[in-house]
Amino acid sequence: MEVIFFGTPEFAVPTLQRLIDQPNIKVIGVVTQPDKRRGRGSQLIPSAIKKLAFKHDIPVWQPKKIKKHQDTLYALKNAQADAFIVVAYGQILSPEILAMPKLGCINVHGSILPKYRGAAPIQWCLYHGEAETGITTMLMDEGMDTGAMLLKAYTPIDLLDNAHQIAEKLAEQGADLLIETLGKLEQSKINPIPQNDSEATYASLIKKEDYLINWSRSAREIHNQIRGFYPNCVTPFRDGFVKIMATFPLIEAYYSQLPDDLKALINLTNIHYNTAQNPGEVVSIIKNFGPVIQTGEGFLLLREVQRSGKRPQLGQDFVNGSHLLIGESLGVSIINN
């Protein structure tokens, strides 16, 4: 089977590698986003997929707008590939491109469709506190993740999982599911299932304002925001901002999910909380663990933070380094939809 791979970020790398490793599959080309300028020197940096393709001497196309780039369209059509594989490519494919391969364009999507269609399914899935996610392979159509579903694979979400950790799991799971999907498609052992649009939810692009923590929300909601949008959530602190990287909602129902390094919290029955009720205030500092913050509902332990220009640090180190005091505020109450 000859395939052309469309993908850009690290999430797509395991699938491309798995395709390259298959003796009965040949990757005859890769389409990825143009190199981007990054860092202080503003150097052009290739995508993770381009690096892997070059390592294996696979031809690469990098059109700025694939729907209008005639040279790329001509090359794709003349390749006469059996399938186009699409994993987090970053551009919408035109009907002309979708019609080119014999078996169709197959997308590896990081959610259990029809839930979380769109650009950031992993992040919004965590934000909404889902207990399970997974991978769906589908035949692409002109809509945004609306094509007929082929196969699904599921994975549980733990209370402390963040977006990077779930993405790593799903990237490997997606690679396995794609290989299974191609084999069954070639043998006509899959009946594509149309999606039920009435059950669809959407995972839109994340905006800068989504990263700002509103301490008036509940401890569980803030915890989900922080792990869903990891590592970018921020709150005002003194004369600047601080990133909140990891938390734990101090709710008894969640104590059974404590990791080993936090299990001692179960025995700390004499924790004293300040009587202040202002969301965002430091109400306690638990020795060897870190600061506890008042939220709109419940308390949130800060496990890891990052101050501007500094490396990430544990909650207790943040307390020591900043001389944090009970009664200080880690932000203001804001309106957040």
Spatial separation of the C-alpha atoms in residues 91 and 89, rounded to whole Å: 6
Grouping H, G, I as helix, E, B as strand and the rest as coil, residue 232 is: coil
Please, which pLDDT band fits residue 276 given cuts at 50, 70 and 90? low
Residue 139: its H or E element: strand 132-139
Please, which pLDDT band fits residue 311 given cuts at 50, 70 and 90? very high
Write down the pLDDT at residue 187: 92
Domain segments of the chain as ranges: 2-203, 209-322
Write down the pLDDT at residue 75: 96
Report pLDDT digits (tens) over 186-241. Answer: 999 999 999 999 999 999 999 999 999 999 999 999 999 999 999 999 999 988 99
Task: For Cα atoms 110, 115, 116, give the angle at the middle one, nearest 5 degrees.
Answer: 55
Mind spelling out the 3-state secondary structure of 305-324? EEECCCCCEEHHHHHHHHCC
How is residue 50 written in tokens? 């381009």
Give the closest residue to 26 by CA, choosing from 72, 71, 61, 57.
Answer: 57
Q: Which of 12-21, 40-49, 319-328 has the highest average model confidence (pLDDT)? A: 12-21
Spatial separation of the C-alpha atoms in residues 87 and 7, rounded to whole Å: 5
Burial of 153 (C-beta count, 10 Å sphere; 0-12/13-18/19+)? middle
Is 41 or 87 the better-scoring residue by pLDDT? 87
CATH of 2-203 given 3.40.50.170, 3.40.1280.10, 3.40.50.410, 3.10.180.10: 3.40.50.170
Residue 27: what residue type? V
Report pLDDT digits (tens) over 48-95. Answer: 999 999 999 999 999 999 999 999 999 999 999 999 999 999 999 999
Write down the pLDDT at residue 335: 39
Report pLDDT digits (tens) over 92-113. Answer: 999 999 999 999 999 999 999 9
- Asked if the model's pLDDT at residue 22 lies above 90, the reply is yes
Residues 6+ apart with CB under 8 A from 69: 63
Write down the pLDDT at residue 337: 37
Residues making up the annotated binding site are 111-114
Is 19 or 272 the better-scoring residue by pLDDT? 19
Once rounded to an integer, what is the mean pLDDT over residues 250-275? 77
Write down the pLDDT at residue 334: 44
- Asked if the model's pLDDT at residue 332 lies above 70, the reply is no
Report pLDDT digits (tens) over 111-142. Answer: 999 999 999 999 999 999 999 999 999 999 99
Please, which pLDDT band fits residue 333 given cuts at 50, 70 and 90? very low
Write down the pLDDT at residue 132: 98
171-to-23, 49, 88, 156, 270 alpha-carbon distances in Å? 21, 13, 10, 14, 43
Spatial separation of the C-alpha atoms in residues 133 and 86, rounded to whole Å: 19
Please, which pLDDT band fits residue 263 given cuts at 50, 70 and 90? confident
Once rounded to an integer, what is the mean pLDDT over residues 269-287? 77
Residues making up the annotated binding site for (6S)-5,6,7,8-tetrahydrofolate are 111-114
Look up the CATH architecture of domain 209-322. Roll (3.10)
Give the closest residue to 215 by CA, choosing from 331, 94, 99, 116.
Answer: 331
Spatial separation of the C-alpha atoms in residues 313 and 244, rounded to whole Å: 10
Q: What is the mean pLDDT of the chain?
A: 93
245-to-109, 133, 229, 281 alpha-carbon distances in Å? 26, 22, 9, 18
Write down the pLDDT at residue 272: 64
Burial of 42 (C-beta count, 10 Å sphere; 0-12/13-18/19+)? exposed
Spatial separation of the C-alpha atoms in residues 132 and 161, rounded to whole Å: 11
Spatial separation of the C-alpha atoms in residues 162 and 160, rounded to whole Å: 6
